[in-house]
Amino acid sequence: MKVPKINFLIVSILSIVNLYANENNVICKDDSNLVDNVIDSFNPILKLSPIEAGFFIGEWKVLVKGTPNGDVVMNVVIEKKDDKYIGTVQSIGTDVKPVKADKVEIKENKMKIYWFGGGYNIFLHLEKIDDNKIEGSLMDMFDATGERIVN
């Protein structure tokens, strides 16, 4: 959901409601302003803001579908150290040790983690879906879904 499009829609609706209410002297049963009531009904949407970057901190089980090696399950761990995000990535079910991320970027509701593996520079882009779910893509080619690992 992109807030700017929603805000434009809400402003448009409020403009129409305001015009109608002013032209027709509309007053609600409790003597409140109709526009204020409409604004209040949109408050949950208007109060949407980017999540705190801390959302991504923790351990995630991420499934990447359709890679040349088939579906891959990875363990992604994100930490914050000295005001910088760090992380590791490890394929589950293999003997490969966790690989340290070269860079972890967290902006608004999105995270991008970069690492070197299998001879390639790799990145995984993920977005928050709900409190414990994320989705995105590996290298902008393979769909990825993930769940927070709660210990």
What is the model's pTM? 0.65
- pLDDT given for residue 80 in this prediction: 92
- pLDDT given for residue 45 in this prediction: 47
- pLDDT given for residue 10 in this prediction: 59
- Summarised one tens digit per residue, pLDDT across range 54-110 is 899 999 999 999 999 899 999 999 999 998 999 999 999 888 899 999 999 998 889
- pLDDT given for residue 49 in this prediction: 45
Q: What DSSP line would sit under 37-90, residue for residue? A: HHHHHHHHHHT--PPPGGGG-EEEEEEEEEETTEEEEEEEEEEEETTEEEEEEE
Q: Is residue 2 over pLDDT 50?
A: no
